[in-house]
Structure 1
Amino acid sequence: MKGLYCKLSEAGEVKFIIQETSVPTTIGNHQVKVQVKGCALSPVDIKVSICLASSAACSFCKEPCGVTIFAPDFRILPLDAEMSGLCDVVLIDEYNLVQKPEKVSWFEAAGAIKDALRAYTALHTLARMAVGHTLLVLDGASPFGLLAIQLAHYHGVKVLATAVSLEDQKFLEQLRPSVARVIGVWDSKVDLVDSCLEETGGLGVDIVIDTGVRLYEEESEVKKHLPYKHDIISLLGVGGHWVTTEDNLQLDPPDSRNLFLKAASVSFLNEEVWEASRARQGRYLHIMKDVVEKLATGTFRPLVENPVPLYEATVSMEMVQRRQLRKRVVVKL
């Protein structure tokens, strides 16, 4: 059978290829052979994948590394799995499986599971959201942002969301009352901090979930729609929680001082930790079961493209890696 893999050149360039692969003939204890119906594509964190795929130390750890091909994370197998999740059949530990409700489609389940897991990690585990809190979701029209909005609204949280384009703003406006206010950061006349403080009566928001931040004013054009770290700290309320996806976040002493004065906290969002710790396995499965139940009841409505066939997987994956697609892509097998 064929599987989708990530190939890394000597120059560090990433290429996705479909190559022949096979399922091990020996099934280990607590393993299950699973037929794959649909597989969602997500950007690959090359540094993390190389570290996990290599038995030797890697360049990320400042040591030589010989890994050139590995299976990217397609959210059906643990991050350190050697098999690609995009195969007809995979072996997976029984403790990583939950039953899909009959009324939930394969593609809807595949397209929602990663973003929903991130939303639970951000809002429940890191931010400890509660009824009456105010949440700011940056780039609310993204697949992750949409599920974060839906989860927060379900739990009685007031949601503010930013839109990075006019089209996104129109889309988010249709989600009322799930979204209390849409802040169009694509418009240079709109000030994010002023909008949040106005909406909260000057108190600031309780929770912020970002999609990256600008550390310095002279950063690349790609990050032009991202807020400055100072802006996020400024709009946080007393005791607020900032959940960031910026793995290279640097806080200067004045930033730390402002957070200290507000008794605010910063947490790093990495949903893969659920699979990295056996102590978290029970909670991880509880989250997965709750996700599919909310899909069945319509609480979660993921943002998914029409399923694509396997022969288009490499092209689709390259576009996903370059973040050129706004909806979650699912490959049909």
Structure 2
Amino acid sequence: MQTTEIVLPGIGEPETLQVRARELPEPANGQVVVRVEASGISFAEQQMRRGKYYDMPPFPFVPGYDLVGVVEGTGRRVAALTKTGGWADRVVLDEADLVPVPDGVGAAEAETVVVNGVTAWRMLHRAAKVRAGQTIVVLGANSGVGTILVQLARHAGIRVIGTASPKHHDDLRALGVEPVDYRGGDVPARIRELAPGGVAAVFDHVGGPGIADSWRMLAPGGTLVGYGSAATRDHAGDPRVPVFKLVARLLWWNLLPNGRHATFFDLWKGKRNLPRFRHQLREDLTAVLELLAAGKITARVAKQFPLRDAAAALRFAETAGVAGKVVLIT
């Protein structure tokens, strides 16, 4: 059986992506062939093509952090977190890594909440442990993760203040978010006006020097969750250095006697205990997919592209202000 896949040959512009056909290996015991229906483009792939993702495989490789597809021979629609390899029309995966997709949920819609949904759910409920009635700040509330995070928070009865450019404010208000223009002057001061006593959690994908502003937004007992370093995306040098610096800063703040907490969220933390990791992944992703199926949260597909147009899709995903998830379909 053949697969068509998209290869990232090395550091370069999106147009350097290559389309390749190859024979799939025979599935081993406990593995299945999944016919991919949809795979997503996340910030991870944008970093990988620059050679800036801190935990990426050597070139060349097939990107694709997550996917939704159908198990060959059974027709079961499933979702999977892959980290790499998802930009293909067929893949071989361990059956234990597959999570059922509820009936009535389309492939592209389900795809928007795989890595984004699991990330948002775990940051909100496992890392920050935010409770109903509390207030949080979500930086980039219109982003792929941000869009899901604010919906999960509002569903849980949490007040949300979200930063975004003004063109996204009406959409955020429709989700129950109080929007703040991230380019509109002193953002921390504006957020202090909305939450004078500070907030229970800040979710910051930007990193860089601005992480200090996020720390100052917290109320006593609050948690800062860093989950990226977008501010250093184009910095030269070892891609791990900005992440290490960010993590070190967060760890240092934890040593201060101020009653606040900071953490860097790593989706793959705990994978050494693979059975437990798989159990939690299935539990968390199932919860998000069930909310999607019930209409409690909505999928936001920014745009769909055919798999073979992955270069154009990646270029579009890197356009400033894209709201929601860019999806490759086969």
1-structure distance, mates of 2:87, 2:83: 15
> TM-score scaled to structure 2, two decimals?
0.80
| 1:117-132 mapped onto 2 (5 Å cutoff) | 117-132=118-133
Cα separation, partners in 2 of 1:288 and 1:254, compared to 1, 3 Å? closer
CA apart distance, 1:321: 5.3
Cα separation, partners in 2 of 1:285 and 1:193, compared to 1, 3 Å? same
For residues 134-189 of structure 1, what are the alpha-carbon distances to aligned partners after superposition, in whole Å with 9 as ceiling and x for unaligned? 110011111211110010111111111112x22022322232xx22x22122222x
Counterpart in the other structure of 1:207? 201
CA apart distance, 1:276: 5.6
2-structure distance, mates of 1:275, 1:103: 31
For residues 224-262 of structure 1, what are the alpha-carbon distances to aligned partners after superposition, in whole Å with 9 as ceiling and x for unaligned? xxxx23322221110110001232544899995697243
- The answer to whether residue 65 in structure 2 is matched with residue 74 in structure 1 is yes
CA apart distance, 1:305: 2.6
Work out which of the residue numbers 2, 5, 11 in structure 2 matches 1:3: 5
Cα separation, partners in 2 of 1:42 and 1:277, compared to 1, 3 Å? farther
CA apart distance, 1:298: 1.2
- The answer to whether residue 168 in structure 2 is matched with residue 168 in structure 1 is yes
Work out which of the residue numbers 276, 286, 290 in structure 2 matches 1:289: 286
Gaps of 5+ in 1: 54-66, 216-227
SS in 1 for 2:23: coil
| 1:1-333 mapped onto 2 (5 Å cutoff) | 1-9=3-11, 15-24=16-25, 26-43=26-43, 44=45, 45-46=47-48, 53=57, 67-76=58-67, 79=82, 84-163=85-164, 165-175=165-175, 178-179=176-177, 181-188=178-185, 191-200=186-195, 202-215=196-209, 228-244=210-226, 245-246=228-229, 247-250=243-246, 256=252, 260-273=256-269, 277-278=273-274, 279-320=276-317, 325-333=322-330
Gaps of 5+ in 2: 68-79, 230-242
SS in 2 for 1:86: coil
2-structure distance, mates of 1:161, 1:194: 14
Instruction: From the CA coordinates, give the structure whose radius of gyration is larger.
Output: 1
Cα separation, partners in 2 of 1:253 and 1:68, compared to 1, 3 Å? closer
| AA at the equivalent of 2:268 | E
* Equivalent residues of 2:199, 2:217 under 8 A apart: yes
CA apart distance, 1:79: 4.6
Cα separation, partners in 2 of 1:250 and 1:102, compared to 1, 3 Å? closer
2-structure distance, mates of 1:306, 1:231: 33
1-structure distance, mates of 2:113, 2:254: 36
Cα separation, partners in 2 of 1:194 and 1:68, compared to 1, 3 Å? closer
* Equivalent residues of 1:205, 1:235 under 8 A apart: yes
Q: Which has the higher strand share?
A: 2
Cα separation, partners in 2 of 1:258 and 1:312, compared to 1, 3 Å? closer
CA apart distance, 1:70: 0.9
Cα separation, partners in 2 of 1:90 and 1:329, compared to 1, 3 Å? same
| AA at the equivalent of 1:234 | R
Q: Indicate the RMSD between aligned Cα atoms, in angstroms.
A: 2.8
2-structure distance, mates of 1:27, 1:35: 13
SS in 1 for 2:206: coil
2-structure distance, mates of 1:205, 1:287: 25
2-structure distance, mates of 1:156, 1:318: 36
1-structure distance, mates of 2:282, 2:200: 28
CA apart distance, 1:303: 1.9
2-structure distance, mates of 1:19, 1:108: 26
